[in-house]
């Protein structure tokens, strides 16, 4: 094995990205490998590390990342050594796996030399099994958590649930946050079909919690859970700390009005865990409210209504499907109406497989749009995106006078800054710049606006 160096590490990681399918490089249909057979064999080759620690499993169309990280923050506040596995990453793929050891310790990512050694040691096994990039990173996270002897790990599902690589675990709690139409080609064409896939993480005797349901999805969850596991709907109850929800929401550093239901789900999960033999004593000592309010800072979490700049104010959010963007666009319009900004500039990109026809009617009318194209094959080219939006405007009577396109994210952000400087109100109020529609767009925006966070 070659000796470790920063250069050899970067070469090895790039080789893994290139050789094994990753949604960062190719389409979901190319990268997604449903089924657990290869993941189970990979885990066995690693010594079944996922069996060495307790887990909490989190699935859902929207909100699963926020719920997972809030729970991790709460568990760490209880003095536990907590692993956290989420996806996708924003800048460094090691962001997918973090450890926070207790309340005061800083978050740690998997060390580069550990990642390098793992990839070199298991290269032949990964080749033989022809694993996906997500399967490799899942095995890496499980092995690191086991080697670090975490007490518990919060594991976010990558896609779906039933056939997701993470579904080899038997958790202490299974959570489904919400259901909406997304990745329909892989998960189902109706919300009921998608709910059934996500309910595939329910396990025999393991408490299951559903955050939000629709009339079409509640019967599915009830049917799957019947005779299998106890089921709680957070939407139907009031967790023990819910009377504090407005105070918590106002002071949370994970902003965005969509956090309202995520908070209810987290507090309902805390109540379930507080009665669990493996958690009851620890949870009694946790400062839940403080841990939730400071989640982003404590866990170094990014891309959820994150402020990347103050002058002008630049907000970035990775919400990308109609359900998530409906919430985000409504919040932007409310901010514009409240007068906290002089105008609204939206830097937007979308993946080619997303429901653009369902998204465009949600897009604020009174905004300047800069359409762009992140560096991924999955992105809809900026020219095509702008053309489709102009066609929509022509059909609906919207103005196209403030519609631009830029061939790169940096060019789009530079344009947004120039337009912002030219649009300062007489009272000094600056435009609000929103960057969203794609995780890849947010990732590149972070690299442009916060270069110190680069690898």
CATH number of the domain within which 361 lies: 3.90.190.20
Say whether both 210 and 326 belong to one domain: no
Say whether both 395 and 278 belong to one domain: no
- Boundary of a domain, candidates 279, 299, 319: 299
389 lies in some domain? yes
Q: How many domains does the chain have?
A: 2
Q: How far apart are CA 45 and CA 305, in angstroms?
A: 40
For residue 320, CA distances in Å to 154, 349, 355, 445 come to 23, 9, 9, 15
Say whether both 264 and 329 belong to one domain: no
Say whether both 277 and 325 belong to one domain: no
Say whether both 206 and 60 belong to one domain: yes
Would you write out the chain's pLDDT as a tens digit for each of its 455 residues?
568 898 999 888 888 877 765 444 544 445 455 679 999 999 999 999 999 999 999 999 888 999 999 999 999 999 999 999 998 888 888 999 999 999 888 999 999 999 999 999 999 999 999 898 899 999 999 999 999 999 999 999 998 899 999 999 999 999 999 988 655 555 656 899 999 999 999 999 999 999 999 999 999 999 999 999 999 999 999 999 999 999 999 898 887 777 889 999 999 999 999 999 888 888 887 799 999 999 988 998 888 888 888 889 899 998 888 888 888 899 898 888 887 788 999 999 998 888 899 999 999 998 999 999 998 888 999 999 999 999 999 999 999 889 999 999 999 999 999 999 888 766 778 899 999 999 889 989 988 887 544 33
Angle at 128 between CA 126 and CA 134, to 5 degrees: 35
* Beta carbons within 10 angstroms of residue 367's beta carbon: 21
Say whether both 54 and 107 belong to one domain: yes
- DSSP code of 148? T
Q: Which two tokens stand for residue 272?
A: 């379930």
Say whether both 145 and 251 belong to one domain: yes
Residue 78 and residue 278 in contact, taking contact as beta carbons nearer than 8 Å = no
Say whether both 101 and 195 belong to one domain: yes
Q: Which two tokens stand for residue 165?
A: 């690589």
Q: How far apart are CA 351 and CA 295, in angstroms?
A: 29
Say whether both 26 and 125 belong to one domain: yes
* CA-based end-to-end distance of the chain: 23
Instruction: Classify 251 as helix, strand or coil.
Output: helix
* Element spanning 382, H or E: helix 382-396
Say whether both 274 and 365 belong to one domain: no
Q: State pTM to two decimals.
A: 0.85
Say whether both 359 and 329 belong to one domain: yes
Burial class of residue 392, CB neighbours in 10 A (0-12, 13-18, 19+)? middle
Burial class of residue 246, CB neighbours in 10 A (0-12, 13-18, 19+)? exposed
Domain that holds residue 376: 306-453
């Amino acid at each position: 094995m070659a000796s470790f160096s920063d250069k050899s590490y970067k070469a090895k990681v790039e080789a893994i990205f290139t050789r094994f399918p990753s949604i960062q490089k190719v389409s979901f249909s190319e990268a997604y490998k449903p089924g657990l057979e290869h993941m189970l064999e990979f885990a066995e080759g690693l010594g079944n590390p996922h069996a060495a620690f307790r887990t909490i499993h989190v699935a859902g169309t929207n909100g699963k990342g926020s719920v997972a990280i809030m729970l991790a923050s709460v568990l760490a506040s209880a003095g536990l050594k907590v692993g956290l596995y989420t996806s996708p990453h924003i800048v460094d793929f090691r962001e997918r796996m973090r450890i926070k050891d207790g309340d005061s310790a800083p978050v740690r990512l998997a060390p580069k030399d550990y990642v390098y050694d793992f990839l070199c040691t298991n290269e032949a096994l990964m080749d033989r099994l022809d694993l996906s990039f997500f399967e490799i990173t899942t095995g890496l996270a499980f092995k690191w958590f086991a080697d670090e002897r975490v007490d518990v790990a919060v594991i976010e599902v990558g896609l779906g649930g039933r056939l997701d690589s993470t579904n080899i675990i038997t958790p202490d709690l299974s959570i489904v946050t919400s259901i909406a139409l997304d990745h329909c080609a892989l998960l189902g064409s109706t919300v009921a079909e998608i709910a059934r896939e996500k309910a595939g993480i329910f396990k025999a005797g393991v408490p299951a919690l559903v955050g939000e349901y629709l009339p079409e999805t509640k019967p599915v969850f009830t049917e799957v859970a019947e005779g299998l596991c106890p089921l709680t709907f957070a939407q139907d109850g009031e967790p023990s700390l819910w009377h504090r929800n407005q105070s918590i929401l106002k002071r949370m550093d994970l902003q965005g009005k969509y956090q309202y239901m995520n908070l209810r789900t987290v507090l309902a999960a805390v109540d379930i865990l507080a009665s669990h033999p493996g958690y009851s004593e620890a949870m009694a000592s946790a400062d839940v409210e403080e841990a939730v309010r400071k989640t982003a800072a404590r866990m170094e979490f990014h891309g959820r209504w994150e402020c990347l700049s103050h002058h002008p104010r630049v907000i970035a959010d990775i919400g990308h499907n109609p359900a998530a963007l409906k919430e985000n666009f409504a919040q932007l319009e409310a901010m514009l109406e409240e007068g906290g900004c002089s105008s609204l500039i939206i830097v937007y990109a979308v993946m080619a497989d997303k429901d653009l026809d369902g998204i465009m009617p949600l897009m604020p009318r009174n905004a300047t749009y800069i359409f762009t194209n992140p560096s991924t094959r999955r992105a809809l080219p900026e020219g095509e995106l702008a053309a489709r939006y102009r066609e929509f405007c022509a059909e609906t009577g919207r103005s196209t006078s403030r519609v631009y396109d830029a061939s790169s994210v940096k060019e789009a952000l530079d344009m947004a800054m120039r337009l912002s400087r030219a649009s300062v109100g007489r009272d000094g109020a600056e435009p609000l710049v929103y960057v969203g529609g794609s995780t890849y767009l947010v990732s590149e925006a972070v690299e442009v606006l916060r270069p110190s966070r680069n690898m």
